[in-house]
Each structure stands twice: as structure tokens, then as C-alpha cells.
Amino acid sequence: MSRNLDFPIPPPAASAASVPPLPATPEMAPATPRAGTGIGRSIVLIGLPGAGKSSVGKRLAQMLGLPFHDADLEIEAAAGLPITEIFARYGEPHFREGERRVIARLLAGPPLVLATGGGAYVDPETRRAIRESGALTVWLRVEIPLLLPRVSNRATRPLFLQQDPEAVLQRLRAARHPIYAEADLTVDCCDESPEDTTARVQRAIEGFSAPARLPVALSGREYDVVVGEHLLERAGGLLSGALPGRRVAIISDASVAALHLPALRGGLEAAGFTIGASLTIPPGEGSKSLASFGRVLEELLAAGIDRNTAVVALGGGVVGDLAGFVAASALRGLPFVQVPTTLLAQVDSSVGGKTGINLASGKNLAGAFWQPRIVLADTGVLATLSPRELRAGYAEVAKHGLLQGPLWDWCEAEGARAVAGDAAALRHAVLESCRLKSAVVAADEREESAEGGRALLNLGHTFGHAVEAECGYDGSLLHGEAVALGLGLAARLSARLGFCEAGLPGRVEAHLAAVGLPARLAELPRRFPVERLMARMRKDKKVREGRMRFVLLRAPGQAFTWSEVPPAEVESLLRDEGCLS
């Protein structure tokens, strides 16, 4: 009997010989990937028995110009035994260990198409090995009525021995589908020819764009910001490794829920998640209140949440801030997930763990630092935003550009494309903003740095929050629009104090105006009393020992915090910008 030591079957007592790897068969022979396919990594097919992994895999490999391997055949060849006998002699744990080694060996080589056994991807270590190899995982999802005739001749397979095939499939579906949902791609297979299925799989692969993962590395813990399209439909698979259980409570607002809640629910339920509660709040900044906070807490507790129930925020910054504060407070802290659906939330408020509500005295004056377990920024949902909402979110991108430098150059050159809804430009804006913010948050999680640090992310916010609060959060001025005004004022204050070139404020305001944002206070239909704005700024969270602290600029990419700004200079600036004395 010939054995390959990649499959660790204990040898008989009289023999301990090592056999070199099996020679390639014609089916396994290397092939050159076909030009233009864009496939630079291995393809791993997963699914229940009878899903067509081998028949589709062989055809797919030929279409892509890649070698094909069947993991079960490789295992039998390596062990010199049929799989039924491996199970009977050594048990499933030993089989899974050998299966994992065989799959890891195959994926360590050049790109190929690999059909796996139905239970391979269910094994956590095998799943991890597949991910670490960089392979693209494709789940061939087939409903049981189509599988039944295909498995009728599987009596020699261990799971079907002396068993009712339909009962076996039902059991496997319940156990495996939630894990298969973690695959990169899902292709629903119907009653069609293998050629047609293969063609659909090929189109799905060639149209696939892997989401980016940006780590936020905190002391003792790290979480990912995942940026890409179609993440809501894959939410369960993406969340499963980040949460302690598969029970969630969703908090959204009525407008967002009507658009995106069905996709999120479907993505969660496909991975076996239970949705213990689904709550909605009215849209708008007015929902970030003590009254809303108390009501949502009471409704969650009435729904029977426990310490392993994760709070999922589906919506913009208002939903994320409120739901995060609820998660931090309920039962002294629940796991939290951000699923931002606005540009503003995707580039800013969903990352970093700041949560809170507004008080009569000002914005975000009650809250907590409560980091999410994961952030899913589905850039595809941005297509549902109104032009005004998209522009408002872009203000935070411009802020990040001024903080980072090169991103500001990109904003001036390409920002108009993002505001116009260009998918590639929006993805770049979200990625680069999250990249900047994640680095800043990792270095100063709780905004404790004496100077600079996380406080820099408040560029424009001291002015902007004061104006927004003075408007009463009535929707006449969106948060992003207030930030845009604040960026212009911060640049003008920097120039007045001699920190930056005199031309920078005009440059900032010209870009904001070019993308349709308000750039000057004088452009608003109302006038603000100087003393009322000053009083609000004196209550800002960044105040230290009674002194207002501003984020100022020397140039794009050179921001700093400053606590020595003379109040008279701020008052003079506000009067020059049209405020009432």
C-alpha cells in the first residue's frame, strides 16, 4: 500500500517507510492561466455533497487555464485507502487532520482549482488554512430537492452509509450552510447543465472585487474595517468570526431600514444568526437624545437580550452614535457592530469607538468610548444617498485630506467625481479616510494625548458643532455641512494667527464650494450672534482648564492643536464672517 505522509495515517507496526509525493496525473497537470482571465490565485469550491464541485471544477479549470484537483481523490491516493475505510479505521478527527494537510499542500503551490469534500470547510483549521493561502472560496449553493437525485449513488460515502439521504442532507444543511456563508462568493445553482453553471461561476469570479480590510490595532485588541461592495448580503459570514455568538439586535432608522434592512437580515440569517430584536428610530439628529436612548434601552431589554447579543447599528452617524452608546450601557456592555450606510458614517463616525447623544448644552456631551468588533462599510449602498447627503459626507473626506496632505491633493483633483457618485472614487475616499482614521485612533484611542493625537480629527468641528447646535439640529444644516463651514473657519483662523499661507483659506473654501458645500457663514440664510457661538464653543469637549482648544493648520498634512488662541481673535473672525455682534 502506497501512502503520502501529507496524510498522517498511522502505518502498520511492521512498516514505517516514507513514500515520495504522488506523480501528477493528466487531470492534475499544470496549465498556464489563460491571458485576460485576471485569475492570479487558487479557486476553492465548497458546498454540500452533490453540489457539483468536481464537475464544475474540472470545467472551470479548463476555462481558466488552471490545473484541477479533487481533494477527496488526493486524500484517497495519499492514504492508499478509500475515504469510507479511513473513517472506519481511524475516525473523522484523524481524517480531518490529514485532509487539512493535503489541502494546505495543494494551496501552497501555483494557482489551481480545488474541489473540496463537503465537510472540509466546516473544519476551523482547514478554513483558516484556506484563508491564509489567499485562495478565493466559492460556495456552490444548491437546494435539497436538486441534491437528492445526485446523492442517490453516494452509499459508499461515510455520511450516507445506511442513512436516509434526505435526512442526511437536511442535517448537513443546518450545520454547514451557516459556515459556508463565510465564503468569498456564493453562486446559487439551479436545474441547469454543468456547462451553464460553470459559465455563471466564471462570470462571478471574474467580476469579483475583494473587500479591503483595514486593521484598527488597539491595546490588547484589534478589529477590522471592511470596505467593499455587497457586504450586507455577506454580513453573517463576515461577522461570524468577530462575535461571541450568533444572536444580534439591529438598530436602524426608518428610512434606512426600508432600503437596506432586508439585505442585512438575509445576510445574517444565511449564516445562522438569530435576530432577537429589530428597532427603528426616527431619522435625523433629533434622535440622538436622552429620550431615544432610554426608549431603545428599554425595548432591547424587553426583547430578552443577553451578554452575547451583539448590537448592530445599520445607518448613518446618528444611528451609529446612539446604538453604540446603548451597546456600551446595556447590561454594562454588549458586543457592537457598525454597518454605516452614509458616506459621512463610513469615512468617519463608524471608526474609532466614539459614541454618544446630544444634550441641550451641546453635541455629543454624553457618551462613551465603545469600540465595535467590526465595521462593514458597504460602498454599494452609497448609491441610494441623495446628492445633499453625499456632499455632506464628503466634507469629512475633505477634512481627512487636510489632515493627511496627499489626500487633499486627490480631493482637489478627484473629489468632484466622488460627490457625483462615481463608485471607484467613493471607494478610494472611504478607504483612505479609514486608513488615516484607524492609524490615529490606534495611536490615541481615548483622545488622551496632550497635544495633537486623536483631537486632530476634530479639525473644523469646534466651529461646526457650535453652528449646528445653534440651528437646533432641525435638519436645516446637516452635520457634514457644518463641518465644511468649520473647515473654512479653521483655515481662516490659522491664517489670521500667521500659521499658514494667506491663500490656504481661499483654496479650502473654493474646493468646498466647487463640490456644492457651504463654505462661508455669510452664505447661510440666517445670522448667528457671536456671543451665542462663543458660549457653545466654550462648552466644547476639547476645552482644557477653561481655555478653548482649536485644531489649526500650517499646510495640508500639517495640523496641530492650539490652546492659546485669543478669544477676541475668534470673535473678530466671526464678525468678519457675518455674525451678529
Cell numbers describing residue 341: 450606510
Q: Which residues are catalytic?
A: 332, 354, 396, 437, 447, 454, 458, 461, 465, 479
Torsion-angle region of 364 (φ positive above 0: left; ψ -120 to 50: alpha; else: beta) = left
174 sits in which H/E element: helix 165-180
Helix/strand/coil percent split, the chain, to 5: 50, 15, 35
Classify residue 258 by burial, with Cβ atoms within 10 Å: 0-12, 13-18, 19+. exposed
For residue 353, say whether it is annotated as part of any ligand binding site. Answer: no
489 sits in which H/E element: helix 479-496
For residue 363, say whether it is annotated as part of any ligand binding site. Answer: yes
For residue 53, say whether it is annotated as part of any ligand binding site. Answer: yes
Q: What are phi and psi of 390, to 5 degrees?
A: -65, -45
For residue 539, say whether it is annotated as part of any ligand binding site. Answer: no
Q: Give residue for cell 460627490.
A: 419
For residue 542, say whether it is annotated as part of any ligand binding site. Answer: no
For residue 532, say whether it is annotated as part of any ligand binding site. Answer: no
What three-state secondary structure class fits 17?
Answer: coil
Q: Please give the single-letter amino acid code of residue 332.
A: R
Torsion-angle region of 520 (φ positive above 0: left; ψ -120 to 50: alpha; else: beta) = beta
For residue 492, say whether it is annotated as part of any ligand binding site. Answer: no
Query: Could you give the CA distance from residue 335 to residue 246 in angstroms, rounded to a whole number?
Result: 11
For residue 51, say whether it is annotated as part of any ligand binding site. Answer: yes
Cell numbers describing residue 516: 456644492
What three-state secondary structure class fits 359?
Answer: strand
Query: Could you give the CA distance from residue 364 to residue 289 in angstroms, rounded to a whole number?
Result: 10
Cell numbers describing residue 468: 449646528
Contact 231, 378 (CB under 8 A): yes
For residue 409, say whether it is annotated as part of any ligand binding site. Answer: no
For residue 117, say whether it is annotated as part of any ligand binding site. Answer: no
Q: Give residue for cell 439586535.
A: 249
Query: Could you give the CA distance from residue 286 to residue 295 in angstroms, rounded to a whole number?
Result: 14
Contact 345, 369 (CB under 8 A): no
For residue 156, say whether it is annotated as part of any ligand binding site. Answer: no
For residue 326, say whether it is annotated as part of any ligand binding site. Answer: no
For residue 496, say whether it is annotated as part of any ligand binding site. Answer: no
For residue 96, say whether it is annotated as part of any ligand binding site. Answer: yes
For residue 157, say whether it is annotated as part of any ligand binding site. Answer: yes
Q: Please give the single-letter amino acid code of residue 512.
A: L
Q: What is the 3-state secondary structure (H, E, C) of 531-579?
A: HHHHHHHHCCCCCECCECCEEEEEECCEEEEECCCCHHHHHHHHHHCCC
For residue 396, say whether it is annotated as part of any ligand binding site. Answer: yes
For residue 318, say whether it is annotated as part of any ligand binding site. Answer: yes
- Binding-site residue numbers for Mg(2+) are 54
Binding residues: 50-55, 72, 96, 118, 157, 176, 317-321, 341-342, 354, 363, 396, 461, 479
Q: Which residues are annotated as a binding site for ATP?
A: 50-55, 157
List, as residue ranges, the binding site for substrate.
Answer: 72, 96, 118, 176
- Binding residues for Zn(2+) are 396, 461, 479
Q: Indicate the annotated binding residues for NAD(+).
A: 317-321, 341-342, 354, 363
